[in-house]
Amino acid sequence: MTWISPIGESPGAALAAASAHAPYLAQLQSRVPEAWETIRSGDVDSAYRAALDKTSWQGDPDQVGPLLRRAKSEAHLAIAAADLSGVWPLEQVTAAITDFADAALDAALRSCCEKRRIDPGGLFLVALGKMGAHELNYSSDIDVVALYDPHVFTGGERGPADAASRILKDVVALMEARTEDGYIFRTDLRLRPDPSSTPLAVSTRMAESYYESIGQNWERMAWIKARACAGDKVAAQAFLNTMIPFVWRRHLDYWAIADIHAIKRMINANAGESISDEAPDVKLGPGGIREIEFFVQTQQVILGGRTSALRARGTLDALAGLTEAGVVEAQVADDLRQSYETLRHVEHRIQMRLDEQSHSVPKNSAERKALAALSGVNDENEFADQLAATRSLVHGHYQNLFAEEDRRHETSLGNLVFTGVDDDPGTVATLETLGFSNPQSVIGTIRRWHRGGTPATRTQRGRELLTAVLPELLHIIGETGEADAAFARFGRFFEGLSSGVQVLSMLLAETDILTDLVGTLAIAPSLAQTLSRRPDLLEGLVDGCDPADPVDVDSDFETAMDAARRRHRDLNFLIGHRLLHGRLAAREAAAEYSDLADETIRSMAAVACKETERRFGPAPGHWSVMALGRLGGRDMTAGSDLDIMVLYEPFDEISDAQTWFSRFTQRLITALSAPTAEGLLYEVDMRLRPSGRAGPVAVQLSAFDRYHREQAWTWEHMSLTRLRFVAGDAELGVRISQIAANVIVHAGRPSITRDVADMRARLFAEKPPKGSWDLKLAPGGTVDIEFIVQHELLTARDASLLRPHTGDAIEALQSNGYFSADETALLCETLANLNALQQVLRLAVDGVFDPDAAPKALNDRLARAIGVDEFERVESTLRREMASVAALREKKLHMQTTE
């Protein structure tokens, strides 16, 4: 039994008592005195029927608006009197409101058609939501869908589509226009198919196609209550018959049921509101009306396809059907029925006070006392306690629905509701708590995805998977500390997918991958672009397998080039992903990037050789591809160029070997650097060959030896310290390395220190650093370390110390007394930190890094890269170490620091 009590022995007495607490009702008494007199006489039913009769309009269509507005005032006064006095039960109260809405809407539609001189045959309105269920609240808006049968509704000269939309625009304007007599009903047409891109009235053909192809489970729940309410009822019923298979599916697969569970699960407690809140929202808050409705509707939509007795429109009728079918326990059903009646009564009394579409108990104490008085409760605290007990009972039963499923997807988040057309206030609050600055935009984007607005959600399975993954996705995005940016990047990734089922299934099953994905999108846009083009790369994160096959060197030149680019792109992504998420140390990443480059050079060199031989005959000698720079030192990053040199030794001096090997080298450069439909591989730099750009692209071994012994500059000898064989004839590669070592040991200039210092000063002048975060060129950066180490190797003149990797060379020099223990520690630690930071930055940043503008997630990742706990320590560590390296460079090269 509800604890809401009548406030008068008769409808007239109830209205008189309510006048002190409800300004709107007091206003109505003076606005429609005839109705008030009828009610005071005790005949509330006659007062309501008189108001309803006025909707049977005949005559001047321009008089329909004033007529209906006055009739609405009369109906409102009569309904309030019957409700407050307890003369009508809840079902009769809501039915009376709904019947008047039906009649008023039908009158408005007829009058608008008459004004435009258009036959309304084939044009109709379907009521959804509370209107469809005959459950309108006292100040409710009305949710309707306007449709027309294109085979029946002609629309006159304008045609059916244009005419129907114009008529509905007129209807809405008429229903919502406010005058001194009030308004008729706020009318909402947004539950039509895809309201953001469809006219106010849609054809039945378009609607059938929409619901058949991309209709969602929440829309099925909405259409449970569908009912013809105005216009051509015959055409309306024909359309509703076509909707039966959409609404009531006899067989639901796992994902459809999981989607419905997820819809229920998203209705959590409004952020900041609890059961004990003294000013709760009795509709949307915890234990509110919506929880009862969802308790019923979710079970209806799952079971109603097989059990026709569950297909009732009304909430209480459907609850009774669920009880009779043994789905809901009798005590639970009784608790929910009584609670529903109580909450609806409170909702009506909230709205009777000011005729506002509010569902919240007032925050003001005096207004709460007035609400309590309208509810027949004299004590404000007693009212609050009774309401809290009712809501607590409802919330307990609601939480028990699908409880096992909820435990599997437990979340501490608040509301995350993206169904319907209105932004859920609780969802807005939840998203704000997660760090989103514009929750409405996020809700709109997700709602568009749910409507099939991107290829990933054009299938029902894709939309259902999105519903399931959203809570965890948004939670993880919020944890990045850059919610707006992370969501925007996820959006670009998600909307770039050609299909969503595979990816969404993986993200739902593998939370770690979802976390990694969001982190990748937040930190490294370049990897995000790769992922959007190749979402299947995510599978490689699960099984660790190479996502692309090795290049078949026996395939034709263009095919091999494309295959190499596919493999390189996939493996490059996996290395970068592991590095980004701390699963690969910087030096290990450098080695893997270098291995990938070596493999690519070897396969492309083999393909280039085969193509050259096909066109110009067999190779007239042996050849080797040698690496220098970062490739030679195995210090490659995600965006490093390839510093390479091609050397050859002819079989004899008679053949024109130079021409053949030049052609071969040009094809190798093309294979490595030319763009194809599959993208790019590397930029190739061959300027470290003898004579640089002025020399031949392929260099004969004897010419290489002679040049470095007789003509090379000190900086060219420095580059040889990082020379390494990559591809071709390995024995020739050994001989090339021996020549380089001999040059370093025997052909060094007497002015090595001055040459190195001059070269460093010239580099400062010609390529000044682009700020303190230019980790390569800034004083104390990687170039300084390389200059220091290469200077020591040239002056040591000891071939046994040569190591392509700078870190290894430092240790070799220290073991032979060229660096002290402190100098070695400084160089090794600074080099390791600089390389670690560069590895991450090459993945995440195009151009100069600006820590103030960078995402917090990136700054945090940089801190982890060098093993410190906060980004501020990264900058202080760099300043200290780089200053010490710059000082060591001054000492070793006898030069002043160049700013």
Q: What is the pLDDT of residues 96-119, one digit of tens each?
A: 999 999 999 999 999 999 999 999
Burial of 711 (0-12, 13-18, 19+ CB in 10 A): exposed
Q: Count of CB atoms within 10 A of residue 695's CB?
A: 15
Q: Count of CB atoms within 10 A of residue 97's CB?
A: 26
Which residue in 122, 128, 78, 85 sits closest to 100, CA to CA?
Answer: 78
Say if CB 573 and CB 530 are below 8 A apart.
yes
Secondary structure E strands in 691-770:
698-700, 724-728
Long-range pairs for 334-338: beta carbons < 8 A, 24 or more residues apart:
335/393, 335/394, 335/397, 336/292, 336/295, 336/394, 336/397, 338/1, 338/2
What is residue 625's three-state secondary structure? strand
Question: What does DSSP say about strands 142-148 and 187-188: parallel, antiparallel, or unpaired?
Answer: parallel
Give the model's pLDDT for residue 747: 65
Question: How far is residue 173 from each of residues 67, 185, 193, 736, 815, measured CA to CA in Å?
Answer: 15, 10, 21, 87, 89
Predicted TM-score (pTM) of the model is 0.65
Say if CB 153 and CB 366 are below 8 A apart.
no
Q: Count of CB atoms within 10 A of residue 765's CB?
A: 9
Say if CB 397 and CB 336 are below 8 A apart.
yes
Which residue in 481, 447, 424 sits closest to 288, CA to CA?
Answer: 424
Please state, in angstroms and rounded to a whole number, the distance separating the CA atoms of residues 683 and 643: 9
**What are 890's strand-pairing partners?**
none
Token pair 């900058």 is at which residue?
Answer: 875
Please state, in angstroms and rounded to a whole number, the distance separating the CA atoms of residues 594 and 588: 10
- Cα 92 → chain centroid: 46
Biggest alpha carbon–alpha carbon distance for the chain = 127
Give the model's pLDDT for residue 506: 82
Burial of 846 (0-12, 13-18, 19+ CB in 10 A): exposed
Which residue in 30, 235, 74 sits closest to 147, CA to CA?
Answer: 235
Say if CB 146 and CB 125 are below 8 A apart.
yes
What are the mean pLDDT values of the chain's consecutive 10-residue runs (899 residues total)? Answer: 88 94 96 96 95 89 93 97 96 98 97 94 96 96 96 91 96 96 94 90 95 85 94 97 90 63 58 74 91 90 87 95 94 96 97 95 94 94 95 90 53 72 82 94 91 86 86 90 88 84 83 85 75 70 63 92 91 87 87 96 97 95 97 94 97 87 97 92 93 88 94 93 97 97 82 92 92 93 96 93 96 94 96 95 85 85 91 94 96 72
With a CB cutoff of 8 Å and minimum separation 6, the contacts of 159 are none
Q: Count of CB atoms within 10 A of residue 15's CB?
A: 27
Buried-exposed string 541-560: b where 16+ CB fall within 10 A, e elsewhere = beeeeebbeebebeeebeeb
DSSP per position, 826-868: HHHHHHHHHHHHHHHHHHH-SSS--TTTS-HHHHHHHHHHTT-
DSSP per position, 285-346: STTSHHHHHHHHHHHHHHHTTT-GGG--SSHHHHHHHHHHTTSS-HHHHHHHHHHHHHHHHH
Q: Is the CA virtual torsion 53, 55, 56, 59 positive or negative?
A: positive
Extract the tokens encoding 183: 């308004």
Say if CB 351 and CB 245 are below 8 A apart.
no
Which residue in 216, 295, 309 sits closest to 256, CA to CA?
Answer: 216
Extract the tokens encoding 66: 């004033």
Please state, in angstroms and rounded to a whole number, the distance separating the CA atoms of residues 483 and 431: 9
Token pair 């007829």 is at which residue?
Answer: 110
Please state, in angstroms and rounded to a whole number, the distance separating the CA atoms of residues 386 and 4: 9
Give the model's pLDDT for residue 40: 94
What is residue 420's three-state secondary structure? coil
Say if CB 723 and CB 740 are below 8 A apart.
yes
Three-class DSSP labels, 204-216: HHHHHHHHHHHCC
With a CB cutoff of 8 Å and minimum separation 6, the contacts of 771 are 778, 848
Say if CB 204 and CB 95 are below 8 A apart.
no
Give the model's pLDDT for residue 169: 97
User: Each residue of 180-204: pLDDT tens digit?
Assistant: 999 999 999 999 998 888 999 999 9
Radius of gyration of the chain (CA): 39
Extract the tokens encoding 847: 């151009």
Please state, in angstroms and rounded to a whole number, the distance separating the CA atoms of residues 286 and 283: 8
Token pair 């959203």 is at which residue?
Answer: 470
Question: How far is residue 213 from each of residues 220, 439, 447, 449, measured CA to CA in Å?
Answer: 13, 28, 16, 14
With a CB cutoff of 8 Å and minimum separation 6, the contacts of 880 are none
Please state, in angstroms and rounded to a whole number, the distance separating the CA atoms of residues 83 and 78: 9
Please state, in angstroms and rounded to a whole number, the distance separating the CA atoms of residues 589 and 569: 15
Please state, in angstroms and rounded to a whole number, the distance separating the CA atoms of residues 319 and 332: 10
- 79, amino acid identity: I
